[in-house]
Amino acid sequence: MNFPEQTPLELSIYQANKAYNGIPALIDAQITLRGGEVHGLIGENGAGKSTLIKLLAGVLSPDSMRVTFNEQPVELKTPQDAYQLGLRFIHQELNIVPSLSVAENIFLSHPYPRIGGVFVNWRKLNQMAQDVLHQLGVYHINVRQNAAQLSSGDAMLMKIASAFIGDDFANLRQTGGLLYIMDEPTASLTNVEADILFDVIDTLRQQGCAVLYVTHRLNELFKIAQQITVMRDGEVVGSHQMTDVTADDLIREMTGREMENVYPPRAVEAKGAIRLEVQNFSTAHVHDINFTLREGEIVGIAGLNGSGRSELLQGLMGADARESGTIYLEGQRLPRLSPTLAWEYGIAYVPEERRSQGLILTQSIAHNITLPHLAETTHGMGLLNHSREHLISQETSHDVQLRAVNTHQRVKQLSGGNQQKVVFARTMVKQARVLLLDEPTRGIDVGAKFDIYSLMRQFSAQGVSILMVSSELDELINMCDRILIMRQHSFVDEVVPTGLNEETLLSLCYGNAGE
Amino acid sequence: MTTQQSSSNKFKHRQLSVGGLMRRYGTLIGFLLVVAIFWWQKPQTFMTIPNWVNITRQVSILGVVAFAMTVVMVTGDFDLSVGSMASLAGIIAGLLFQQEQSLLVAVIAALMVGLVGGLINGILVSYIGISAFVATLGMLTVFRGLALYMSGGASIYGRAIPETFSNFGRGGFELGTLNEQRVFLPNLTILAAIIFIVVLILLGQTVLGRRLYAIGGNMEAARLGGVRVNPLRLLTFVFSGVGASIAGLMLFSRLSTAHPTQGEGLMLKAIAAVFLGMTMTEEGEPHVLGTLLGVLILGVLANGLTQLRIDTYIQEISTGVIIVLAVALSSLSHKQINILKPIQQFFRNSGSQAEARQLND
């Protein structure tokens, strides 16, 4: 197919309106995507970003919307319409089929290459999958292995690759280019993996494609985006050239309030007694862990994906069986823990994946908050005390500044940030002694992040000791008193964050500092 | 919390469409329709107190199995072995009667069948990790074989059975007289009602019930949230086992006969009753009130269709059609009635596969 050299593609949406149950989610929104441009889209959770993307994808029908493609009015009513206009989507959620190979996952929503129209041409399938990964600059993933064996970062790269199947990737310029919509693609990527993606995005842009890039990480946008649209409460509140704005401007526009600092300042210096002491602790996934945690201290754990960070928290929580070692809590030697016992000892836990590990999405806020504390929510004899449950969930959801209709609302109806606040509210029912946080701010917006950081400061001031795993190095540096470095399932180093920068911390994670 | 106030007002204005009502309460409306049709067709006999008392007795045994099954299904499992456990419990009691053991010994032994059977099911599912579908299907065959072997394939009836035992199934508590006929509330109905109330309190008002629903909602989140998942799943199978045993005794008592396969129809009907009930809850989770209605629907259909002299085979067909219709109607409302959970566990990962397809579509 020979296309003449075209004017750069342009897709515009005007006057997009959408309401759920009478509550407007999108009010007269408009956005224009142009070929050769990376367009950032930011806004707090619930600002309408997801709704806008769903309208673009044709999976949600708008109350009203006008769409033009290269200045011609077009329909965008079904996913097929979107596909034909050249829209390609990379979603934030990792929906992979663990039992299938990487190649099969990449081809999940595309027809497999066949021999004689009947038999799957496995050789060609694997070859095509591998080619697409190579085009993305990903060489370390074997397409024949099961997706279950991938780290979450590699799984995300695999999902990204699947968006490029079926298009003539090498000849995009001739075909006029495509539009890629990426919804927080870097949420589970390490910095190195994210850099691979940024290179891909840059290549796409140079080939005349348009990219709509949704993220909560502002610094990424300053790296890759040329244009930015800011949303708040369902409306587009700003549209700028990236060179004209600063991060502070964007945060102000997004939240509608002044925010001098993303991180709340520390109130007191933590120098309490030793709260938790872990000696020679090993599980099937971590080896010979030693550390202490003081009262009111916030200690971070940095490391690459797969270094055993999350597994350490699971081990401390008793979700992974202890193989050896001892844990002392306030001098008391703890027995072999189970999650049930851990909660009873005042060890509270915010797991990595709030949707699959933290919450029961179909149940109410109240039920989710009291789940670990049901033993204290009774009249005795195992009978539930509903009024006490109501009171507890009211108080704690107020404390975490949860935005919800009431505590009977189902958790699945809440935005990501509010869902995370429900998981936090759970840790406040009973005064926790140790709080284990795994990626506490993953996938939530700046405003909710600030709330969560403030909560952590508040916990710390009350004397709660916090152990936090995070892939956001910036967060570790700004929130923690000390940072433990984890590599290959053990602690290898400890640093004080004062004066530390992200590059140094990252190279410590890789273990090539000073080499 | 000012934002909460404003948005809650907005929510109050949410309108329920006719279609929405139909999907939510379709099963209930359908039930009332069926009742109305029978009433219209059989005005003299259907809508009478004696007939309804009769219906409650007819469904009491199924009710006990279905109420106990609800507890298992709350955690997302199900128990296919209840029918053959009920038969086996009856056979054990009958054999002990033949050996002139006391009523108490026979009843306790029969209950032990369910207890031990449930323990085995529970251990297989929660500690060994076999899917409920496979484990209880296997045990179904084992219990069935045991009942046939121990009885020699023959029914147990006659003099050996104590009169107090068979009188229980036929007798009742006198309510009064109506048109010079004495009306009894059947003992079996009373027993089923007691078990209904026990399950109602267990699931709705206790910590245990809440934890079971948590397991059914998200097993991993429940575990990390401090719920002891394995012992509780085991417990639900013990519960359904004991329920099956009680039902087996009730059946034996009512028929004064223990046949090694007489409980077999109970399992499918009990599961169907729970499904019918699930169509009426908001999130499609099992609820014992819904199960009660499901049991009544099945009972009323059988009663009414028999009165209309409709062939029993045709009755089976129409009952099946109604169950499928009810569940289909409610899944149109995008309720996630995951009736296939245990089967999905059997075919590992097929759940996430379906989900992935859905998201990619």
* Contact yes or no for B10 and A23 at CB 8 A: yes
Q: Are A476 and A470 in contact (CB under 8 A)?
A: yes
Classify residue B12: in a domain, yes or no. Answer: no
Measured CA to CA, the distance from residue A232 to residue B196 in angstroms comes to: 51
Mean pLDDT of the B50-55 span = 92
Query: Residue B15: its pLDDT value, please?
Result: 44
Least CA distance to A400: which residue of chain B?
B1
Q: Are B147 and B91 in contact (CB under 8 A)?
A: yes
Chain B residues lying within 8 Å of A404, measured CB to CB = 4
| Chain A interface mutation, best of B200, B207, B227, B341, highest count of A Cβ atoms under 10 Å | B207
Query: Residue B98: its pLDDT value, please?
Result: 95
Residues B191-216 pLDDT 10s: 999 999 999 999 999 999 999 999 99
Classify residue B232: in a domain, yes or no. Answer: yes
Helix B49-74 × helix B229-255 angle, to 10°: 150
Measured CA to CA, the distance from residue A154 to residue A147 in angstroms comes to: 9
pLDDT-derived band of residue B17, with 50, 70 and 90 as boundaries? low
Classify residue B18: in a domain, yes or no. Answer: no
Measured CA to CA, the distance from residue A8 to residue A4 in angstroms comes to: 12
Residues B332-356 pLDDT 10s: 765 555 555 555 555 543 333 334 3
* Contact yes or no for A97 and B352 at CB 8 A: yes
Q: Is B180 on the interface with A (CB under 8 A)?
A: no
| CA distance to partner chain A, nearest, from residue B74 (Å) | 13
* Contact yes or no for B4 and A406 at CB 8 A: yes
* Contact yes or no for A383 and B207 at CB 8 A: yes
| CA distance to partner chain A, nearest, from residue B31 (Å) | 27
Query: Residue A265: its pLDDT value, please?
Result: 79
Query: Sign of torsion, CA A439 A261 A416 A107?
Result: negative
Bridging pattern class, strands A289-294 and A298-303: unpaired
| CATH at B127 | 1.10.3470
Classify residue B3: in a domain, yes or no. Answer: no
In total, how many domains does chain B have? 1
* Contact yes or no for B210 and A367 at CB 8 A: yes
Nearest by CB to residue A382, choosing from B1, B4, B208, is B208
* Contact yes or no for A374 and B211 at CB 8 A: yes
Measured CA to CA, the distance from residue A115 to residue A302 in angstroms comes to: 48
Closest CA to B217 of B200, B229, B199, B235: B229
Measured CA to CA, the distance from residue A274 to residue A268 in angstroms comes to: 17
Q: Is B74 on the interface with A (CB under 8 A)?
A: no
Nearest by CB to residue B221, choosing from A98, A317, A358, is A358
Chain A residues lying within 8 Å of B207, measured CB to CB = 374-375, 377-378, 382-384
pLDDT exceeds cutoff 50 at B262: yes
* Contact yes or no for B357 and A108 at CB 8 A: yes
Q: What is the 3-state secondary structure (H, E, C) of B288-346?
A: HHHHHHHHHHHHHHHHHHHHCCCCHHHHHHHHHHHHHHHHHHHHCCCCCCCCCHHHHHH
* Contact yes or no for B205 and A356 at CB 8 A: no
**Single-letter residue type at A384:** L
Query: Residue B5: its pLDDT value, please?
Result: 38
| CA distance to partner chain B, nearest, from residue A102 (Å) | 14
Chains A, B: CB pairs < 8 Å: 122
* Contact yes or no for B1 and A363 at CB 8 A: no
Bridging pattern class, strands A347-350 and A434-438: parallel
Chain A residues lying within 8 Å of B348, measured CB to CB = 99
* Contact yes or no for B226 and A344 at CB 8 A: yes
Closest CA to A304 of A216, A193, A199: A193
Domain span including residue B290: 30-173+183-356
* Average pLDDT along chain B: 86
* Contact yes or no for B221 and A23 at CB 8 A: no
Query: Residue A196: its pLDDT value, please?
Result: 84
Residues B227-244 pLDDT 10s: 999 999 999 999 999 999
Query: Residue B354: its pLDDT value, please?
Result: 38
pLDDT-derived band of residue B28, with 50, 70 and 90 as boundaries? confident
What residue has token string 């033993």? A375
Chain A residues lying within 8 Å of B1, measured CB to CB = 398
Q: Is B351 on the interface with A (CB under 8 A)?
A: no
A346 Cα distance to chain centroid: 27
| CA distance to partner chain B, nearest, from residue A377 (Å) | 8
Locate A394 and state its tokens.
Answer: 């009211």
Name the residue with higher pLDDT: B280 or A166.
B280
* Contact yes or no for A357 and B221 at CB 8 A: yes
> Which stretches of chain A drop beneath a pLDDT of 70?
1-7, 21-22, 92-94, 168-176, 257-261, 267-270, 512-515
Measured CA to CA, the distance from residue B153 to residue A177 in angstroms comes to: 75
Measured CA to CA, the distance from residue A145 to residue B87 in angstroms comes to: 49
Classify residue B145: in a domain, yes or no. Answer: yes
Measured CA to CA, the distance from residue A4 to residue A11 in angstroms comes to: 19
Classify residue B253: in a domain, yes or no. Answer: yes
Classify residue B322: in a domain, yes or no. Answer: yes
Classify residue B22: in a domain, yes or no. Answer: no
* Contact yes or no for B349 and A22 at CB 8 A: no
| CA distance to partner chain A, nearest, from residue B223 (Å) | 7
Measured CA to CA, the distance from residue B204 to residue B193 in angstroms comes to: 16
Q: Are B111 and B246 in contact (CB under 8 A)?
A: yes
